[in-house]
């Protein structure tokens, strides 16, 4: 099946899942057959199998692909430059994202006049966010196998980079191993293609389940908060990234957005940047024309430290909670929010719901009540889906820009219409 057909199929399965989920939620959730069998068994089981099979590929793919990428670079200076550019791009776009979110939220003022009694939110038990020092120490795995088994991305990236560097330094022996890794990489890419074939079913079940369980009633009291987050996410995805792409690469941004659709649907339905890594690497290499030496590094790194969508939610949530509790914030506090949320986004793992946990750190920083998180928890599932789609778009946009600047972008492939 060609990619265009597959994208269309995945898109339709998302739409059908959405429509069916809403219908089930409105009219059929009182039937035990629908709720217990269809939603909580059929949709749940297929959806979870789909997510598990995506996650199954993450660790081997990141390790193999990154080792190949570093070995192909063949130059540690280049690697350092790549890392520097990636960090600069990721951190500055996150700061832009949260500034945009706070500005929009201040303009619309969601939460003003909010009636606290309308929410029936469960109590939120804040969890301890890891400290910056611990985050830095955790970069180095004391046991790489454990890091792999637990799917810890940054230590895995660290070990893979070192392994790749050692291959370059090992001369002839390194060349032989590099060749083997290239073969493994080709096999991993085939595995990704196999998995894509079940994607329409997986996406359908995940979306149908979420929408049948999420009623409108949780959104209505929070509609202003919800819409401001969605608005800022859309502006960031449709204006900020295209502008940056156009400015730094001169490429056609319409092509980028079109080719990102499939990856965004994966991120949307799984709510996990990590689970989307294999699809995002494949897409940036095969469709956007980025060389493996760049994509294999910047995509997993971005999925781990670059969370623009999450930062947007955190910015709007901070203003919302300040409004609800009628605690006015000054300019220094907003600057502190920008700084903390940017750092928090580095420490946020690319898995569902972590953004809310890290929000506790941001709220603490400016002295807002952490219990405020309970107010927005009800709509977070849907927002998590949308912000994850933005998170992965940012990783790909950064990857294309960095690849172009490194002469590692196949422009012909980028411009090629999907067939």
Residues that bind ligand ASP (CB under 6 A): 271-273, 307, 310, 348, 350-355, 384, 387-388, 391
* Minimum gap (Å) between residue 236 Cβ and ligand ASP: 14
CB 286 within 8 A of CB 70: no
Report which of 356, 387, 96 is spatially closest to residue 228, judged by C-alpha positions: 387
Give whichever of 86 and 251 is closer to ligand ASP, judged by the CB atom. Answer: 86
User: Nearest to ligand ASP by Cβ — which residue?
Assistant: 355
Give whichever of 13 and 391 is closer to ligand ASP, judged by the CB atom. Answer: 391
Long-range contacts formed by 1-9: CB under 8 A, 24+ apart? 1/197, 2/418, 2/419, 3/262, 3/287, 3/418, 3/419, 4/418, 4/419, 6/196, 6/197, 6/199, 6/200, 6/262, 7/261, 7/262, 7/418, 9/200
* Minimum gap (Å) between residue 264 Cβ and ligand ASP: 12
CA distances from 223 to 114, 186, 350 (A): 11, 46, 26
Separation of alpha carbons 280 and 256, rounded Å:
13
* Minimum gap (Å) between residue 356 Cβ and ligand ASP: 6
* Minimum gap (Å) between residue 313 Cβ and ligand ASP: 7
Give whichever of 221 and 355 is closer to ligand ASP, judged by the CB atom. Answer: 355
Give whichever of 390 and 409 is closer to ligand ASP, judged by the CB atom. Answer: 390
* Minimum gap (Å) between residue 279 Cβ and ligand ASP: 13
* Minimum gap (Å) between residue 139 Cβ and ligand ASP: 19
CB atoms under 10 Å from CB of 92, counted, come to 13
Give whichever of 164 and 309 is closer to ligand ASP, judged by the CB atom. Answer: 309
Give whichever of 73 and 275 is closer to ligand ASP, judged by the CB atom. Answer: 275
Give whichever of 224 and 388 is closer to ligand ASP, judged by the CB atom. Answer: 388
* Minimum gap (Å) between residue 17 Cβ and ligand ASP: 19
Q: Dmax over Cα atoms in the chain, in whole Å?
A: 70
CB 344 within 8 A of CB 305: no
Separation of alpha carbons 222 and 316, rounded Å:
12
Separation of alpha carbons 61 and 68, rounded Å:
10
């Amino acid at each position: 099946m060609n990619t265009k057909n597959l994208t269309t199929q995945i898109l339709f399965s998302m739409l059908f899942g959405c429509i069916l989920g809403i219908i089930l939620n409105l009219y059929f959730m009182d039937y035990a057959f629908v709720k217990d069998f269809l939603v909580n068994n059929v949709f749940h089981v297929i959806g979870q199998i789909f997510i598990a099979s995506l996650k199954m590929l993450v660790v081997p793919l990141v390790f193999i692909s990154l080792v190949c990428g570093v070995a192909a670079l063949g130059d540690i200076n280049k690697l350092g430059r790549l890392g520097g550019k990636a960090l600069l791009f990721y951190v500055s776009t996150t700061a832009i994202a949260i500034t945009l979110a706070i500005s929009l939220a201040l303009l619309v003022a969601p939460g003003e006049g909010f009636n606290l009694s309308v929410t029936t939110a469960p109590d939120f038990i804040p969890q301890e966010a890891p400290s910056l020092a611990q985050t830095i120490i955790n970069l180095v795995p004391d046991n790489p196998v454990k890091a792999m088994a637990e799917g810890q991305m940054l230590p895995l990236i660290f070990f893979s980079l070192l392994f790749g560097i050692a291959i370059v330094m090992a001369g002839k022996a390194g060349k032989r191993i590099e060749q083997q890794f290239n073969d493994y990489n080709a096999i991993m890419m085939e595995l990704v293609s196999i998995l894509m074939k079940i994607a329409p079913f997986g996406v359908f079940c995940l979306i149908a389940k979420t929408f049948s369980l999420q009623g409108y009633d949780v959104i209505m009291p929070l509609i202003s908060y919800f819409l401001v987050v969605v608005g800022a996410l859309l502006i960031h995805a449709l204006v900020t990234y295209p502008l940056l792409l156009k400015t730094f690469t001169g490429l056609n941004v319409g092509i980028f957005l079109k080719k990102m659709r499939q990856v965004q649907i994966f991120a949307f339905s799984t709510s996990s940047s990590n689970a989307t890594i294999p699809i995002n690497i494949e897409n940036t290499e095969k469709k956007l024309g980025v060389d493996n030496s760049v994509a294999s590094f910047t995509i997993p790194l971005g999925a781990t430290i670059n969370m623009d969508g999450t930062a947007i939610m955190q910015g709007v949530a901070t203003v919302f909670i300040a409004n609800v509790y009628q605690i006015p914030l000054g300019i220094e506090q907003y600057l502190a929010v920008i700084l903390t949320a940017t750092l928090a986004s580095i420490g946020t793992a690319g898995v569902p719901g972590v953004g809310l946990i890290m929000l506790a750190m941001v709220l603490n920083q400016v002295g807002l009540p952490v219990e405020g998180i309970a107010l927005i928890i009800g709509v977070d599932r849907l927002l998590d889906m949308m912000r994850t789609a933005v998170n992965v778009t940012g990783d790909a946009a950064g990857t294309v820009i960095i690849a172009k600047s490194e002469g590692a972008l196949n422009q012909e492939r980028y411009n090629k219409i999907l067939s």
